[in-house]
Chains A and B, each alone.
Chain A
């Protein structure tokens, strides 16, 4: 005797990712999702998985930062967010990772070089821009003790400008 077993997901068990949400039959969900997407109209990416808040939230929850690192990360996030609201989010491409010494590394590559914001276990931070050898951009390196940064806005703009 042949026994056929059909395994299907119940139709009510929808996921929470953007594709499931956009296929939702609930008008309320679709409306809310579109409202969230509105600020990044024109972006090739979507706000739910590639915006500043999401990247920092995911990194903080998965990479086990120290309390000092979290405090510095929150300050950096605040100013990245301000930039995100002002310019095309497509230009806000950056990644967050941990180095082998457990520093948080927020980095970005441009045609001219690599920008790094390194956040140490005590919340101190260094900014570095290393230009490729064929670029005529200027290298930068600055170290800040925790609480030593007076202008996070300038730091954030330089991170994305170089």
Chain B
């Protein structure tokens, strides 16, 4: 059924166009949110409804402000354009198929020698066109291959705190860093740095600086 909302520009209407099943490095995703949510996204992250608009790269699919059009007149009091802020996420890294697909597995050890339990959480980025918004895309969250929805989230992923926390941290990272990336190169737990490591690091720095000073003095002499 064609888009019947008069205030949505025709360029955003789907008009029979198909989803593009890949994304592009350098392409942007636009997400509408409260300005305050950008300060600490952790507080408001929902693992069910993670809609964004894709920008396209060579051929522009949408502009940032397009994400503010209200495509569901039953919500927001029927406002046509929402008075919200926009978070920009630049796609910096994708997999070999030009998609974002990231998963994390957690194994809970069995109690008193019982069977351990392994669960997996997966985050997928998909282009999911709507009749009034061809740019509509979403991060879909899967828990053991079941997509999380408003009806099943409380029974599935919400009950697995290690996986839920990991997913939220990944999404929060994207918003804080304004970037979509499969591998965050500097993701090291602080536990890896013990006081011994710090001392060793300090000694190495001290030694290097001393060596440089000696070399400088020798050159001057």
Partner-B contacts on A (CB < 8 A): 97-101, 105, 107, 109, 113-114, 116, 118, 120-122, 124, 126-133, 138-143, 145, 154, 158, 162
What are 26 residue pairs bridging A and B, where the CB atoms are less than 8 Å apart in the complex? A99-B42, A100-B43, A100-B44, A105-B43, A113-B176, A114-B172, A114-B176, A116-B42, A118-B165, A120-B164, A120-B165, A122-B161, A126-B165, A127-B190, A130-B172, A130-B176, A131-B177, A132-B176, A133-B177, A139-B173, A140-B188, A140-B190, A141-B187, A141-B189, A142-B189, A143-B161
> Which residue of the partner chain A has the closest CB to B184?
A139
Given contacts A101-B158, A139-B186, A143-B162, contact A126 B169 (CB under 8 A): yes
**Interface membership of chain B positions 137-165, coded 1 if the CB is closer than 8 angstroms to chain A and 0 otherwise:** 00000000000000000000010011011
Q: Which residues of B contact A132 (CB under 8 A)?
A: 176-177
Whether B161 lies near A120 (C-beta < 8 A) is yes
Question: Which residues of B line the A interface, CB within 8 A?
Answer: 39-40, 42-46, 158, 161-162, 164-166, 168-169, 172-173, 176-179, 184, 186-191
CB distance from A115 to the nearest CB of B (A): 10
A119 to chain B, nearest CB (A): 10
Q: Which of A98, A126, A130, A143 has the most CB of B within 10 A?
A: A130
Q: Could you tell me if B188 and A139 are in contact, using CB atoms closer than 8 angstroms?
A: yes
Q: For chain B, what secondary structure do more than half of its interface residues adopt (helix, strand, loop), or is it mixed?
A: helix
Q: Which residues of B contact A116 (CB under 8 A)?
A: 40, 42, 172
Q: Shortest Cβ distance from B78 into chain A, in angstroms?
A: 24
Q: How many A-B pairs fall under 8 Å by CB?
A: 86
Instruction: Establish whether residues A129 and B190, one from each chain, have CB atoms under 8 Å apart when the complex forms.
Output: yes
- Other than the given A126-B169, A128-B42, 4 more pairs (CB < 8 A) read A121-B161, A128-B172, A140-B188, A140-B190
Chain A nearest CB from B183 CB (Å) reads: 12
CA distance A121 to B160 in the complex (A): 11
Nearest CB on B from A43, distance (A): 24
Once A139-B184, A141-B169 are accepted as A-B contacts, the answer to whether A97 and B162 lie under 8 Å apart by CB is: no
Q: Is the CB of A140 within 8 A of B189?
A: yes
Contacts of A124 in B (CB 8 A): 161-162
Q: Are B45 and A109 in contact (CB under 8 A)?
A: no
* A97 proximity list for chain B (CB < 8 A): 43
Least CB distance from A145 to B in Å reads 8
Q: Which residue of B lies closest to A116 (CB)?
A: B42
B16 CB, nearest partner CB in chain A, Å: 37
Closest to A157 in B: B190
Q: Which residue of B lies closest to A162 (CB)?
A: B190
Of the residues A105, A133, A158, contact of B42 by C-beta under 8 Å: A105
